[in-house]
Amino acid sequence: MKTDVFWWRGFTPLSDQPLESDLEVDFLVVGAGFTGLNAALTLREHGSVAVVDTVAPGFGASGRNGGFCCVGGVGYDPASARQKYGEAVGQSIQQYLFDAIDHVDGLIAHESSIKHSNDGERMMVMSAIEHRHYQQAALVPPYRYIDAVHLKDQGYRLNGVLGVLHLDKGFAIQPYAYVRHLYQRCLDAGVDCYYPETIEHLTSLANHGVQAELSSGRKVKARKVLLACNGYGELSALKGRRIPVLSNIIATQPIDDSRWQSQGWTQCNMVYDDRHLLHYFRRLPDGRLLFGGRGGLIDTSRGLALRAARLQRFAKQYFPDLGDIEIDTAWGGWVTLRPNLNPYLGPLDAEGHLWCSMGYHGNGVAAGSYSGHQVAKAMLALPNQIPSPFKQHGPKLPLPRLRPVYLSGIYAALHAIDWWQHR
């Protein structure tokens, strides 16, 4: 089993672009992923912009995810936002997440090599409790629920499915190709990108700005700084405000069409199950099965091998008629949860010089991209569409160093709940 990121195959690695002298710009963006590059494009329309990344554009979660450009970014069912926050605020959250998909669609409209499918997302309901819930729920369009008895001819037969929650919005992409596209657009727009460069310290300046000290010894002064590194980096300004967790993916060897036909799975749409520690999967254009899931505390090669084996077991359970599912490669990356289950887009200081956008709960393709654009508008004091719950810090996590302990307890509880509901 290989351990390279499947999406990176076929791309020439980016050459290092270190910062060679001190710099002064209007805006500094930390993190060259979906959020940072989208923010840089918007900020560039109003001043000079520099982007720094610890490794290279797309090295983090933006280049490692499953490529699901779908409704998400919050730690709860987006369809329930109205019940959680009331009609007006709930509608604003749902519309924001829909608009996020349209935002990405507009960015890649003429890039056929990036988009893999255009047929929305499906949640496979396997728990009898969830099945009864969705049968009785008053779903708001464009959500709809279909009982499994009606799925036989629709091309996605899965072992153990009781029903499917449909949302005909969203599409699957090659995420690293999208990052490289954004990076090139930034360069074309005159954004300066420097990597590998790590921020060691941020200091507020008396003349209303921020100075960033880099590991190379260089310094960058900016009127405003945006932290867009999500689950990566150890900046003190983010301590206790996020919970980085591992997400892991396997990609199989190519599976011939006759085996897919035997399984009754002919679609390439984005799919996930109804577990709390969910699995997400899709058929890739070359016939491979991509299968991912949450879990893990420490990013080690041994831990990755164990998590890959677990994902392989679930893949065989869900797709028994595919026969032997052979892993080609497995990889992982850090996604970010937030204590209040919402992203945070806003300032980190009273002066409004230091900003951040983070916490997409493992669904950052659309939400992270659009949030970069929207937080940049907020930094510029321009009208924006950020829902009010996304502007709230929420509680800080006490004793952040104990995150592995917290997660161990959370994982154990969620595993128990999933076992009970799917027994």
Identify the band that residue 152 occupies on the pLDDT scale cut at 50, 70 and 90. low
Write the CA distances from 97 to 168, 233, 366, 419, integer angstroms. Answer: 14, 26, 8, 30
What distance in Å separates the CA atoms of residue 328 and residue 375, rounded to the nearest whole number?
38
Domain annotation for the chain: domains and CATH numbers: 6-422 (3.50.50.60)
Q: What percentage of residues in the chain have a pLDDT greater than 90? A: 71
The alpha carbon dihedral of 244, 409, 331, 176 has a sign of: negative
Pair 415, 314: CB distance under 8 Å: no
Strand partners, 195: 17
pLDDT in tens, 235-264: 767 777 788 889 999 999 999 999 999 998
Pair 126, 274: CB distance under 8 Å: yes
**Cβ contacts of 206-209, under 8 Å, gap ≥ 24:** 208/351, 208/353, 209/353
What distance in Å separates the CA atoms of residue 354 and residue 79, rounded to the nearest whole number?
32
Higher pLDDT, 409 or 175: 175
Identify the band that residue 117 occupies on the pLDDT scale cut at 50, 70 and 90. confident
Amino acid at 395: P
Per-residue pLDDT at 231 exceeds 80: no
Per-residue pLDDT at 39 exceeds 80: yes
What distance in Å separates the CA atoms of residue 110 and residue 293, rounded to the nearest whole number?
31
Per-residue pLDDT at 402 exceeds 90: no
